[in-house]
Amino acid sequence: MARPKVEEGKKCIRKDISMEPEQYRRLCEYCQKTERPLSWVVRRALDEYLKNVV
C-alpha cells in the first residue's frame, strides 16, 4: 500500500549536512538505542536547539 500524499508546504526539505565522524558514530548509536530514524532525531534536536536560541 502506498503512503498517503503529503500536503504541499508540509513536505520536508532535504539538505546535506557535514559532521565529525565521532558525532556521526554517537548519533547512530543513539538512533539504534532508541529505535528512531536518524532524520527524526536530527529534527527533534534542531527543534530543541532553536527553542533555546531564537
Write out pLDDT tens, residues 1-54. Answer: 787 777 777 888 999 999 999 999 999 999 999 999 999 999 999 999 999 998
Q: What is the pLDDT of residue 3?
A: 75
- pTM given for the model: 0.76
Q: What is the pLDDT of residue 1?
A: 74
SS (H, E, C) 8-31: CCCCCCCCCCCCCHHHHHHHHHHH
Q: Where are the domains of the chain?
A: 21-53
